[in-house]
Amino acid sequence: MFKDAMKIEKLLKGLSENRDWKPFPGIQDRSQWKAAAGDPHLQVAAQAIVAVADLLLDQQIDPLTGTMYMNFMTNGDRLLYEENYFRRRYELSHLVIAECLKADGTYLPKIIDYLWEILGEISWCVPAHNFAGQHDMVMFKQSNPWKQDDPLPVPGDDYLDLFACETAATLAETCYLLKHTLLETVPSLYYRIQGEIDRRTLRLLEGPKHYGWYLGRNNWTAWCAHNLLLAACYTVEDDQRLAAIALKLMVPMQRFFDTIEPSGACIEGPGYWVVSAGRLAGFVSLVEERFGIDLKAGDNEKFRNFGEHILPLNIGGNLFVNFADGSLKIDLDQGLLSRYASLIGSDQLSDLIGDDIARSARHKLANPGRGRGRNDYARQFLVHLTRLFFWTPENRKSATRTCEKSVWLADMQMMIARSDEKPGAGLMLSAIAGSNDPEVNHHSHNDVGHFSVYLDGEPMIIDLGQGAYSRATFTETRYDMWHISSKGHNVPAVNGRLQFAGKGAQARDVSYRHEGAKSVLSLDASPAYFSDRGSRHMVRHIGFDHEKAEIEIRDEIDLGEPLSRFELPIYVSDRKITVGADGACRIYGKDRVMVVTPFNLRVTGIEQIEISDPRHLEVWGPRVFKIGFEAVDLETAAFGLSIEID
């Protein structure tokens, strides 16, 4: 992808020929901002942003204190510091766009205050990423020289993490958009920001230290590289230096692109795909437009596949198939992904984005107050809002989106099956074979053989997915957390044994077939339960009849030893559940009922699980349910469920 662009002479030539690079209109370009605000597709979004900004005029800026920073190391909590940290940037971003929309100085004093506070933060790196050994991507960072568990960052040794890079890009774009106003009113602040971006990020990038995302293994690479190149393009005036920065960043970006499977599958899950794909598109656009190099991205099959990876994962609305550390509800990076759709000419991706713009704008206008949740904030920082106004018009809805009824994502070993090709309609199934090895996916859960079921766009049988991250999330105790353990997934415990994590803990003998009206995923999960699996077999067949809208789950167990216990939990979202005299469970959706009929299993109880995890609360509400099943006849060693619509 980037190999042909890694030539200093090409980069310098492109810079020389693109002196007038102007990616977006500044605040003084009134006609363009008025046109954007008047765009019928963006009017609600503009109104919502102004509504948020208006509420901020009388609000205090959230504090960020030293003891709040210390929480991560002292008690493992990430949320207290991160909520205020992300909210500051979210609110600054809305104030900047509101000022660009109105250009009457209403929001300028508040913008100055936010800029002042962010410049005054001791560190732009969030605590979870600023201590050696505390996160799997914080590589090559040395321990504190004075006290290993010192809960405050070492002076001059901040890690160049996701959000330090994001902060640099947010401030750089603020200065770009408001340059006319800031230079007219507070030029000292404008130049102070330029200097802090340079000192806190670009010089670190150019220095001798290494960062884990250089290795190109996951979303960190695209996220950091795009933000840093964007900040550099806005602030670095020396062509030689800017070309050198671009050249340095293209090396990890090429590594990242090399790790993407040919099918375009993103093993980290759809939430992380949103970041990876959006930032990849943003990085490609910078290389092409700022440096004048045509990467011919749309001709690259893997690039095209990666861009459309999200489409079959859409359940309906802003709900997406979640597995591992994925989240059911996702706010799309609308502007960046719109550029991706433009690069590959995808009407289907454009349609998905168009629907998301309308949905999220209505939601924000109805709820303009201070919300909570890192993901909601991070995807509405300035980089996203500017591109919402000036990149999404490239792609208006031009095609009705449809989904294939049977999809096999081989690189992820995931099957998605539907009764209806329209998103949000009918019965839908997702099922995964996969691996519990964190070396394969550092966001993995112990979920080999897990399945989820949706009815008319509603999640019925579920995967809890991503919880609130804490210090423990990426440590050796990760797989002890119930929602990450196999006991928190729709997979069996056999003779009391749960799945384990680590090398070799993966499905074997995986097969998928789609013949006529039926799709079937088969796998042997025994390597995820037994490190010395020998001749043991724990075969799961997951079948979907597309015409009848029926699902069949069947487990066949052969341990080479007596089977003393077989237990199967099924997790259900917060809804009415009844159990009939025949043992069948009826799970009630909004308009229709799903019937789960057990084979050689009986219901042991329905447990209400109170939700306390903040992230799960955002997605699932205050409770979910677990239907417990156990074996009726252990000697048969075959058990199953059939699922259909009543």
Least confident segment among 99-103, 450-454, 464-468, 552-556:
464-468
Distance CA 474, CA 480 (A): 11
Alpha carbons within 13 angstroms on the beta-carbon side of residue 140 total 11
Residues belonging to the chain: 646
Q: What are the distances in angstroms from CA 475 to CA 12, 134, 479?
A: 44, 7, 9
406-645 fold: Beta-galactosidase; Chain A, domain 5 (2.70.98)
Better-predicted residue by pLDDT, 340 or 438: 340
Write down the pLDDT at residue 137. 85
List the strands of the sheet with 508-515, edge to edge. Answer: 508-515, 518-524, 537-545, 550-558, 638-645, 593-599, 585-588, 577-579
> Does position 213 have pLDDT exceeding 80, yes or no?
yes
Burial 295-305 (b: 16+ CB within 10 A, else e): bebeebeebbb
Tell me the average pLDDT across 600-624. Answer: 94
Distance CA 123, CA 178 (A): 24
Rg (CA), the chain: 25
**pLDDT per position as a tens digit, 143-173:** 999 999 999 999 999 999 999 999 999 999 9
Structure token digits, residue 113: 């205050």
Other CB atoms within 10 Å distance of the CB of residue 621: 11
Tell me the average pLDDT across 433-445. Answer: 87
Distance CA 330, CA 272 (A): 10
Write down the pLDDT at residue 398. 67
Sequence ranges of the domains in the chain? 21-220+264-275+303-394, 406-645
DSSP-derived letter for residue 24 is: S
| Partner residues linked to 641 by β-bridges | 553, 598
Write down the pLDDT at residue 134. 84
Tell me the average pLDDT across 613-640. Answer: 95
| Partner residues linked to 542 by β-bridges | 521, 553
Tell me the average pLDDT across 183-200. Answer: 98
Distance CA 279, CA 165 (A): 12
Nearest in space to 96 (alpha carbons), one of 229, 193, 228, 226: 193
**Residue 469 pLDDT level (bands cut at 50, 70, 90):** confident
**pLDDT per position as a tens digit, 519-533:** 999 999 999 999 988
Contact 272, 309 (CB under 8 A): no
> Does position 239 have pLDDT exceeding 80, yes or no?
yes
Better-predicted residue by pLDDT, 373 or 262: 262
Structure token digits, residue 292: 């004048």
How far is Cα of residue 316 from the mean position of the Cα atoms in its chain?
17
Nearest in space to 270 (alpha carbons), one of 303, 222, 313: 313
DSSP alpha helix (H) spans, 374-511: 374-378, 382-390
Write down the pLDDT at residue 397. 63
Q: Percent of the chain scored above 90 by pLDDT?
A: 85
Least confident segment among 275-279, 298-302, 338-342, 463-467:
463-467
Tell me the average pLDDT across 322-328. Answer: 87
DSSP-derived letter for residue 630 is: E
> Does position 373 have pLDDT exceeding 70, yes or no?
no
Write down the pLDDT at residue 447. 95
> Does position 457 have pLDDT exceeding 70, yes or no?
yes
Contact 500, 527 (CB under 8 A): no
Tell me the average pLDDT across 379-387. Answer: 94
Q: What are the distances in angstroms from CA 371 to CA 44, 90, 91, 374, 376?
A: 19, 10, 11, 10, 8
**pLDDT per position as a tens digit, 476-486:** 788 888 898 99
Distance CA 46, CA 25 (A): 16
Tell me the average pLDDT across 81-101. Answer: 96
Average pLDDT over the chain, rounded to an integer:
94
Complete DSSP assignment for 312-378: GGEEETTEE---TT--SB----HHHHHHHHHHHT-HHHHHHHHHHHHHHHHHHHH--S----HHHHH
Write down the pLDDT at residue 372. 52
Write down the pLDDT at residue 417. 98
| Partner residues linked to 540 by β-bridges | 523, 555
Helices and strands, counts by H and E, the chain: 19, 19
Q: What are the distances in angstroms from CA 606 to CA 484, 572, 601, 609?
A: 21, 10, 14, 10
What are residue 524's phi and psi, to 5 degrees?
-105, 115
Find the farthest-apart pair of alpha carbons in the chain and give their distance in angstroms, rounded. Answer: 83
Complete DSSP assignment for 175-229: HHHTHHHHHHH-HHHHHHHHHHHIIIIIHHHHSS---GGGG--SHHHHHHHHHHH
How far is Cα of residue 577 from the mean position of the Cα atoms in its chain?
31
| Partner residues linked to 100 by β-bridges | none
Alpha carbons within 13 angstroms on the beta-carbon side of residue 199 total 11
> Does position 375 have pLDDT exceeding 80, yes or no?
no
Distance CA 128, CA 428 (A): 37
Write down the pLDDT at residue 443. 83
The amino acid at residue 105 is G
Q: What torsion do the CA atoms of 328, 333, 334, 335 make, to the nearest 10 degrees? A: -170
SS3 label, residue 408: strand
| Partner residues linked to 557 by β-bridges | 538
Write down the pLDDT at residue 352. 94
Dihedral (CA of 337, 256, 164, 297) sign: negative
pTM: 0.93
Write down the pLDDT at residue 371. 60
Distance CA 368, CA 363 (A): 8
